[in-house]
Amino acid sequence: MPDMSASASLAMTHLVPLAKELDEDKVTPGVLGFIVFAVMALAVWGLMKSMNRHMGKVDFKEAPEEGSSDASDGGRKGAAPAAKG
36 belongs to a structural domain = yes
Q: What's at 28, amino acid-wise? A: T
Q: Please, what is the end-to-end C-alpha distance for the chain in angstroms?
A: 84
Q: In tens digits, what is the pLDDT along the chain, a chain of 85 residues?
A: 455 566 666 666 666 666 666 667 787 888 999 999 999 999 999 999 999 999 988 887 887 888 766 555 555 555 555 556 5
74 belongs to a structural domain = no
Give the whole-angstrom CA distance, residue 45 versus residue 54.
14
Question: What are the φ/ψ torsions at residue 34 (nearest 5 degrees)?
Answer: -65, -45
39 belongs to a structural domain = yes
46 belongs to a structural domain = yes
Q: Which DSSP state fits 46?
A: H
8 belongs to a structural domain = no
Full residue range of the structural domain in which residue 37 is found: 27-52
pTM of this prediction exceeds 0.85: no
Handedness of CA 36, 39, 45, 47 (dihedral sign): negative
40 belongs to a structural domain = yes
Longest dimension (CA), the chain: 90
- What's the total number of domains in the chain? 1
60 belongs to a structural domain = no
